[in-house]
Amino acid sequence: MTREESCSKIEDAIQNIDFKGNFADCNMYGNGHINDTFVVRYTQEDGSILRYILQRINHEVFKDPVGLMENVAGVTEFLRNKILENNGNADGETINLIKTKDGKNFYQDSIESYWRGYRFIEDAACYDKVEKPDDFYQSALAFGHFQNQLSDYPAETLHETIKDFHNTPDRFMRFKKALEEDILGRAKNIQEEIRFVLDREQDTHILMDLYKKGEMPLRVTHNDTKLNNIMIDNKTGKAICVIDLDTVMSGFAVNDFGDSIRFGASTGAEDEKDLSKVNFDLGLYELYTKGFLEGCNGSLTDVELDMLPVGAKIMTLECGIRFLTDYLQGDTYFKIHREGHNLDRCRTQFKLVSDMEKQWDAMYEIVNKYR
């Protein structure tokens, strides 16, 4: 799509979603790797400004945007009802979809792009790196609580928005296929990273094997629990709202735990080029473990508790494998902002995996301290 076409489609979407007030402006927003996110500002009658989020769903990634939006609408409504039952005010505590002028949850334009609007969560921030340890702890409470609140969600009504999303053995197979095909001839320059993955094939099976034996329960999980998918209140410092619900599906609790660890318990950014700045921070791991277990409020089984460190390692390894696969395939999945971006991202993940392997016993001891 050319820039002009893209702009005209944004205007088209804006006109069809029921945003209130007089349109002021629209700008790209946020650091997500998948959807196109914009902030749209509207002037109100009293002169104040109301902001909204406008998103174009990436339907190369999400093949069934209609099913996805059914999930998002279902989950947000379910959460809103729970919050209302408990404390009577759900404002800001779940994402709020803004319907289209004809009452739908999304707008589909003439070139088959899917757009949605959300109320902008004001006076809150989301972080790409832990700045204050307490933010990480608050996010742990919120993600644990989120999972706990969805424990009685009718899982059978959820659409699988990305097939085999956290099927790690399958991710490993897809990596091997991309390696065999090596369409851009990039493999020769990344032998160390390739070896790193191949050496850990056994690890990729651990959770799936437990699941197949009936020892690892499937739950309704978020599946993308990185710190920048949670909004932290600027005044209170509490996590107020879990966002990015596109991947809410059946999954393993330990993967939700693990995905937060891989992103937040690192001393460096996910795409840091200088690996000497990227270390696994055991103190942050401990903080998150404490918060997540408090948030889950006793709902995890013994096997799940035993597997929390494995979840951390496997989610980090899997994410690195996904970045590396995308690098081999020509960077078509994750948005990149520089050459080699996916390779840089992969390297931080593998550095963290190595660090975890060195601190493996301590990771278990910490879980045992809080279980």
In the complex, the residues that contact Mg ion under the rule CB under 5 A are: 32, 229, 244
* 39 versus 173: smaller Cβ distance to ligand ADP: 39
Q: Which residue has the tokens 């190369």?
A: 60
Q: Which two structure tokens, joined as six digits, stand for 151?
A: 């424990």
Q: Is 270 in the site for ligand GN1 (CB under 6 A)?
A: yes
Taking the complex as a whole, the smallest distance from the CB of residue 282 to ligand GN1 amounts, in Å, to 22
**With binding defined as CB under 6 A, does residue 95 bind ligand ADP?**
yes
| Burial degree of 67 (CB within 10 A; 0-12, 13-18, 19+) | middle
At closest approach, how far in Å is the CB of 58 from ligand GN1?
A: 8
Cβ-based nearer residue to Mg ion, 161 or 229 = 229
> Among 247, 266, 316, 342, which residue sits at the site for ligand GN1 (rule: CB under 6 A)?
247
Among the listed ranges 78-86, 119-127, 162-170, 320-328, the one in contact with ligand ADP (CB under 6 A) is 119-127
- Of 288, 281, 283, 286, the residue nearest 239 (C-alpha): 288
Find the helix or strand (DSSP H, E) in which 155 lies.
Answer: none
Q: Which helix (H) or strand (E) holds 222?
A: none
CA end-to-end span of the chain? 51
Instruction: Identify the DSSP state of 157.
Output: G
Hey, which residues between 59 and 98 contact ligand GN1 (CB under 6 A)? 61
Work out whether strand 97-98 and strand 230-233 pair parallel, antiparallel, or are unpaired: unpaired
Residue of the chain from 21, 37, 160, 173 that contacts ligand ADP (CB under 6 A): 37
Q: Does 341 sit near ligand GN1 (CB under 6 A)?
A: no
- The one-character DSSP state at 40 is E
Q: How far is the CB of 7 from ligand GN1 (least distance, A)?
A: 23
* Residue 15 tokens, joined: 């006109």
Contact of 223 with 165, CB cutoff 8 Å: yes
- For residue 42, the minimal CB distance to ligand ADP (Å) is 14
Q: Which of 34, 40, 307, 314 binds ligand GN1 (CB under 6 A)?
A: 34
CA dist 84 and 351 (Å) reads 43
Burial class of 337 by CB neighbour count within 10 A (0 to 12, 13 to 18, 19+)? exposed
Judged by CB under 6 A, which of 17, 19, 33, 95 binds ligand GN1? 33
Residues forming the site for ligand GN1 (CB under 6 A): 32-34, 61, 224, 226, 229, 244, 246-247, 270, 319
Residues that bind ligand ADP (CB under 6 A): 29-35, 37, 53, 95, 118, 120-121, 126, 228-229, 243-244, 246
